[in-house]
């Protein structure tokens, strides 16, 4: 089953974009080959550009505090594991405290001469030839241990933001439960009930992919064929989070 996630507001859209970039950075930080190194830098520069457009620290702090208050209310339930709950509450409290006191994400990257020297070339088609950016060609020729250490150093600058984003999205995702639904002739609509995002699980063998339009109160899903297939009734799983 393929899992799709669709945001229902601009804030959750931004979180999911940051999350996707963080995943790319983690996946490519070990740099098994030069292609992974290039993918790492591409994700890093996309992150810098996105973080220049919006500072998500305040929104993350507010949303994590909302989650902390919701979890605090569960403390009296007899079925709740008190030890695990307290660990989670402590983690959220730490993130809520540290986020507004941290530097804006990407601030130190602007002081890195190497990153500043190669960033512009990534926006130019075919602009990564050795004669275009000899400094990058030199860096790619360094021992793997040195390059991995550099990548881990850049990732360390994002640790707090990655932890906060991971924690919030995990709590959102775990709040929704998948249930089987039917899209008649490839169309389905429902109320969102104030959800932040919609998650779908779809069998790729059906030959269709979902698109979603909507907002915090209602949404509509339409399945489109990959190729010239006819669209009939499609079974999928849905969770509003």
Tell me the C-alpha distance between 180 and 196, whole Å: 20
For residue 104, name the pLDDT band (cuts at 50, 70, 90).
confident
Calculate ∠ Cα 110-116-117, nearest 5°. Answer: 165
The rounded percent of the chain whose pLDDT value lies above 70 is: 100
* Mean local confidence (pLDDT), 171-175: 94
pTM here? 0.92
CB 208 within 8 A of CB 200: no
For residue 91, name the pLDDT band (cuts at 50, 70, 90).
very high
Helix axes 10-28 and 34-53, enclosed angle (nearest 10): 150
- Please tell us whether the domain made up of 10-172 is placed in CATH 1.10.3900.10: yes
Does residue 224 surpass a pLDDT of 80?
Answer: yes
Domain ranges of the chain: 10-172, 176-240
For residue 134, name the pLDDT band (cuts at 50, 70, 90).
very high
Question: Residue 185: in which H helix or E strand, if any?
Answer: none
Give residue 105's pLDDT. Answer: 79
Question: Residue 181: in which H helix or E strand, if any?
Answer: strand 179-183
Distances (CA, A) of 215 to 21, 107, 187: 24, 33, 17
* Mean local confidence (pLDDT), 123-138: 92
Looking up tokens 């060609």 gives 137
* Mean local confidence (pLDDT), 129-155: 94
SS3 224: strand
Does residue 81 surpass a pLDDT of 80?
Answer: no
Beta bridge partners of 183: 234
Tell me the C-alpha distance between 227 and 191, whole Å: 30
* Burial profile 116-126: b = 16 or more Cβ within 10 angstroms, e = fewer: eebbebbeeee
pLDDT digits (tens, 9 = 90+) for 36-79: 999 999 999 999 999 988 888 999 999 999 999 999 888 877 78
Please give the structure tokens belonging to residue 131: 């004669």
DSSP assignment string, 19-68: HHHHHHHHHHTT-SSHHHHHHHHHHHHHHHHHHHH---HHHHHHHHHHHH
Residue 112 neighbours by CB under 8 Å, 6+ apart: 154
What's CA 162's distance to the chain center, in Å? 9
Calculate ∠ Cα 119-122-127, nearest 5°. Answer: 120
Stretch among 96-100, 141-145, 173-177, 224-228 having the lowest mean pLDDT: 224-228
CB 234 within 8 A of CB 224: no
176-240: CATH number: 2.60.440.10
């Amino acid at each position: 089953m393929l899992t799709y996630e669709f945001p229902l507001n601009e804030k959750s859209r931004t979180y999911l974009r940051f999350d996707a970039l963080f995943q790319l950075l983690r996946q490519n930080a070990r740099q098994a080959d030069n292609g992974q190194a290039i993918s790492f830098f591409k994700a890093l520069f996309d992150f810098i550009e996105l973080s220049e457009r919006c500072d998500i620290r305040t929104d993350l702090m507010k949303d994590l505090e909302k989650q902390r208050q919701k979890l605090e209310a569960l403390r009296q339930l007899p079925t709740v594991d008190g030890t695990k709950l307290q660990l989670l509450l402590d983690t959220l409290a730490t993130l809520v405290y540290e986020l507004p006191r941290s530097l804006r994400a990407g601030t130190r990257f602007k002081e890195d001469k190497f990153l500043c020297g190669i960033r512009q070339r990534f926006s130019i088609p075919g602009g990564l030839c050795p004669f275009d950016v000899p400094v990058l060609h030199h860096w790619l020729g360094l021992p793997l241990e040195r390059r991995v250490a550099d990548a881990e150093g850049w990732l360390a600058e994002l640790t707090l933001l990655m932890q906060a984003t991971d924690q919030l999205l995990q709590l959102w995702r775990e709040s929704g439960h998948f249930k089987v639904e039917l899209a008649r002739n490839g169309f389905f609509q429902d109320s969102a009930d104030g959800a932040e995002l919609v998650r779908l699980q779809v069998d790729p063998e059906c030959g269709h992919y979902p698109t979603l339009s909507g907002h915090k109160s209602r949404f509509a899903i339409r399945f489109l064929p990959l190729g010239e297939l006819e669209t009939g009734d499609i079974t999928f799983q849905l969770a509003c989070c």
